[in-house]
Each structure stands twice: as C-alpha cells, then as structure tokens.
Structure 1
Amino acid sequence: MNAQRNRGLTEEAATTAIDQACRMLRLPTIRGQFPDLAEAASREQMSYRGFLAELLLSECDDRARRRSERRIKAAGFPREKSLRAFDYDANPNIDAATINTLATCEWVRKGHPLCLIGDSGTGKSHLLIALGTEAAMKGYRVKYVLATKLVNELVEAADEKVLAKTIARYGRVDLLCIDELGYMELDRRGAELLFQVLTEREEKNSVAIASNESFGGWTKTFTDPRLCAAIVDRITFGGNIIETGTDSYRLAQTNAQAERADAG
C-alpha cells in the first residue's frame, strides 16, 4: 500500500517527503543538494542507480570533510598553514620531494618521529602545522602545543597529582606536534616531565618537533647530558630530520613576492 501510494506522489509532495526523510535520517548534504542533483540527473538521463550513487557519495564526501575540519580544529593549530602555500623558492634548503613524501603520512602510520631544525623564521612552524594538518585530513588524531606550554601543563599536573592522566591524554593522539623546543631553557623537573611525554607514548604514536637549536645545542635546554641524549635518541631513531637552515624564510618570501610583483 505504501509503495503504491508513494508512486503516485506529485513532484511537490515528493520533494517535501524527501526533505522530511533527510531530516529524520540526518542527511543534510543530500537534503541540500538533492534539487540540483535531481535536475542534473534528468538532463543527463542518469540511471536510478547512478543518481542514488551521486546522492550517497555527496553525503559521504561532505561527512569526511566535516570530520577533517573537526580533527583540524581539535589539533589546536594557532593559525592555518598548508603545504600548498609553502614557498620552496624562499628556502632552497627544503626539498619539495621530501616534504611531499612526508605529506603521505606514512611516517605517522608507522609511528616514526619528525624533527625540524633551523633558525627562527626559516619555515619550521609552517611545515610543522602544514604536515600536522595533512595528518588530520587523513584521519589521524593530532595535537599541537608549544614546548613551554606543554611543560607548564605537565608541572601543574604533577603538582595536582594528575600527571599520569595528562600524559595519557597526550599519548592517545596519533601525532603530537611540539613547537619552539629550545627557545627557553628548561629546569631539570620540566625537562624530565617532557622526557616522560616523549618516551611513554605508545610506540605506534608519532611526535613531530620544531626546534631552533641543533641537537648539539639541546644540552642548554636539557641540562642533564644523559637526559638530552635519551631524548635525541628517541627522536632520531628511525625518524626524519629536516634542516631548514639559517636564512630567514619570511624575508626571502617577502623579497621573492616583491620581485614577482615588479616582473609582472
């Protein structure tokens, strides 16, 4: 009886029924795109199966996009940065092929670390955020944090007797991005707590670090040589090291943009 009645619906009644059904089934993309897709299907004489596939794929694609947006927001990036916007001409030390390989996020899947080392303004944070964004878009749980902020949070957690819970929370993300390591010397307690985060994370989880200090200079950040060596070993073992150099990426980018504008 229902099937017989539905076949007799007017176009207006059918449109209303589709709208109501999409609301009940929580299919906002199909609800929003159905009229345009229906008209396109009619013009192109699309089969029923083809039309249904277009509707369902549009809903799936939009849900995947929204999930990516939620993961990127949850990562806590301070600003939006993409690999597409990175100017390799402004920093010839960066190999585009290497970055494109890292963008596949195979290293995240394998739980390998990444370390970006170079002077201030050489593009480390841009690459850290952009690669973290790529990981989030591919379905990985990502968290971005400044090294000093992380250490302060760990110290407070230790004082409040919730350190294990805090470390476990950071351990649950697939990729932990730590920026500005080495900008400030850590006391022994802070260094040891950071060491716990880096070593107690599950082996399958990755860590990416951006530092303005070479490994040799990390002894100023981690005053205990043994602690420093242990952290360096943890980061470098099976990991990727990108050296961004000493020349200012921002200055070179500004100059390159000015030259292109003059040439145009």
Structure 2
Amino acid sequence: MSTSFLLETYAKRLRLPAIKRVYKEIAHDAAERQIPYEEFLLALLEQEVQQRDANQIASRIKHAKFPSMKTLDQFEFSAIPSLNKPKLLQLARCEYIEKAENIMFIGNSGTGKTHLSIALGKEACHQGYSVQFWTAAKICNELMEAQSQKRILQLERQWLKTDLIILDEVGFVPLSRTGAELLFQFCAARYEKGSMIITSNLDFTEWTQIFKDEQMTSALVDRLTHRAHIFAMNGDSYRFKQSIQRS
C-alpha cells in the first residue's frame, strides 16, 4: 500500500478531515523549504484545530436559529446618532454573559433592534457561547404547549443551560393571560443565572399591555433591568429609508 493511501486511511479513521485534505500541500511546502518535522506537524495540527473551531461555530450558529444573518459591521450607526456605538462594540466581547447581565433594545419599529440582537448573538457564538433566538410569541406558544404536556420544568431547565437567550418582538403581538404568565416565569427564572437580549417597541411603562398585571409587570421589569444595558432605539424606520432609496 502506498504511503498516501495509508495516510488518508488513518486520517479518516482518526477523524482528521482537515489533515487529510491539506497534508500533501503542506508536505510539499515543507520539503521545498526544509521545514523541521515539528513545524510540519504543527502546521498540520493547526489546520485541524482551525477547521474544528469553524465547525463548532457553525454548529452553534445553526442551533441558535437566527432568522437572518446580521453583523455589527453591517449596521448603519449613523442612522441613530444617539446610539452608544463604543459600548455596543464593548458588549460584543461578551463579558456581560459571564456576569449574567441583560441587554435591552427599546424603541420604534424598523430601527435595527433585531439586527443588533442577532449581531451580538453571532458574536457570542463565535466566542464559544450557546445561543437561542426566539420571538416572544413563539416562546409563549412553546411554553404553553410544554405546560399542557407537563414538561414545563424540563423545558425551563434545558433553556437555563443556554448561555444567551434572545427574546425578540416583546409587545409586537398580544399575548394570552397564560402566555404572559409563563413568559414572566421564564424570564424570572433566568434572573442572575443567564443573560438575555430583549427587543421591544414598547416603553417599560407600556409593558402592562403585554403582561396584563401591573404588579407582575413591575416585578419583571425590575428583574430584567437590574444590571442591564439599555439602549433607546428612537429614530426613523431604517427599513422605510431603505425602501425609499430603492424606489
């Protein structure tokens, strides 16, 4: 059997696809430049590590179920001059996740709240954190279904293991009384245990429209805003501006 055949066979058995793919090119380069064996081996292992890191990032992003792919580089900060760009870029380092702090984007529709939440979520995926993206309406439906099947505690334990939950569109769709109570329980359960990014088109004073009860609303807002980073997203609709430009 040839050396190449054995190398590819062993790489496959050991599950080293990157080494299997690049070893010939790196070996040729090492021979031409008379690279020491240790450096040649290091170059091969680096390729495998980089590929595995990339695969894990891709897996975390897929598991997060983002509705679209957005980055901070794509966001037009000039559209909202009052937005604290340096603070957002600092938050992209994800230290807030280690501290179980929240981020809240509150403001008009179309100002980029979802864009920024996805962008920060992707940064978290790149840095090794588990992320899940939900709309408020969808997570309420999931919670109500779990309650009817008597697996609500199991579901909450599962979500508590997630490093970052993104809860989008709080207040966009009216919630049932049961859905609002379950959403309250879920958010309260993550208090000081796991980070959340929340977007809403309603000021906190209007959240009674969502949770139907002033006392419950006050208790939830108190928990969510404690040690939270709050951004006011007030301005003209970014999507509307884009539509005008296209026209």
Please list the CA deviations of residues 161-190 of structure 1 after superposition, one character each: whole Å capped at 9, or x if unmatched. 221112222212111100000112323321
Q: Find the partner of 1:194 among 169, 177, 183.
A: 183
What's the offset of the Cα at 1:13?
2.4
Q: Find the partner of 1:72 among 51, 61, 70.
A: 61
- Report whether the alignment pairs 1:164 with 2:157: no
Secondary structure of 2:39's counterpart equals: helix
Q: Find the partner of 1:175 among 139, 154, 164.
A: 164
Moved more, 151-160 or 51-60: 151-160
Asked whether the 8 Å contact 1:171–1:202 carries over to 2, the reply is: no
Please list the CA deviations of residues 2-25 of structure 1 after superposition, one character each: whole Å capped at 9, or x if unmatched. xxxxxxxxxx92222211110111
Structure 1: runs of 5 or more not aligned: 1-11, 259-264
**Structure 2 match to 1:148:** 137
Please list the CA deviations of residues 35-77 of structure 1 after superposition, one character each: whole Å capped at 9, or x if unmatched. 1112222233321111111110110011011001001000111
Moved more, 155-164 or 53-62: 155-164
Asked whether the 8 Å contact 2:134–2:166 carries over to 1, the reply is: yes
Asked whether the 8 Å contact 1:90–1:253 carries over to 2, the reply is: no
- Report whether the alignment pairs 1:18 with 2:7: yes
- Count of paired positions: 246
Q: Find the partner of 2:33 among 41, 44, 49.
A: 44
Distance 1:201 1:39 in 2: 54
Among all aligned residue pairs of Structure 1 and Structure 2, give the percentage whose two residues are the same amino acid: 39
Secondary structure of 1:94's counterpart equals: coil
Secondary structure of 1:143's counterpart equals: strand
Distance 2:82 2:233 in 1: 6
**Structure 1 match to 2:73:** 84
- Report whether the alignment pairs 1:238 with 2:223: no
Moved more, 243-252 or 78-87: 243-252
> For residues 198-217 of structure 1, what are the structure 2 equivalents within 5 Å?
198-201=187-190, 203-217=192-206
The residue type paired with residue 193 of structure 2 is K
Asked whether the 8 Å contact 2:191–2:224 carries over to 1, the reply is: no
**Structure 2 match to 1:53:** 42
**Structure 1 match to 2:207:** 218
The residue type paired with residue 39 of structure 2 is G
Asked whether the 8 Å contact 2:106–2:113 carries over to 1, the reply is: yes
Asked whether the 8 Å contact 1:146–1:181 carries over to 2, the reply is: yes
**Structure 2 match to 1:112:** 101
Asked whether the 8 Å contact 2:70–2:118 carries over to 1, the reply is: yes
What's the offset of the Cα at 1:198?
0.7
Asked whether the 8 Å contact 1:108–1:174 carries over to 2, the reply is: yes
**Structure 2 match to 1:122:** 111
Please list the CA deviations of residues 133-176 of structure 1 after superposition, one character each: whole Å capped at 9, or x if unmatched. 11111111111011001111111221222211122222121111
**Structure 2 match to 1:5:** none
- Report whether the alignment pairs 1:33 with 2:22: yes
Asked whether the 8 Å contact 2:61–2:122 carries over to 1, the reply is: yes
Structure 2: runs of 5 or more not aligned: none
What's the offset of the Cα at 1:254?
6.1
Which of the two has higher C-alpha Rg?
1
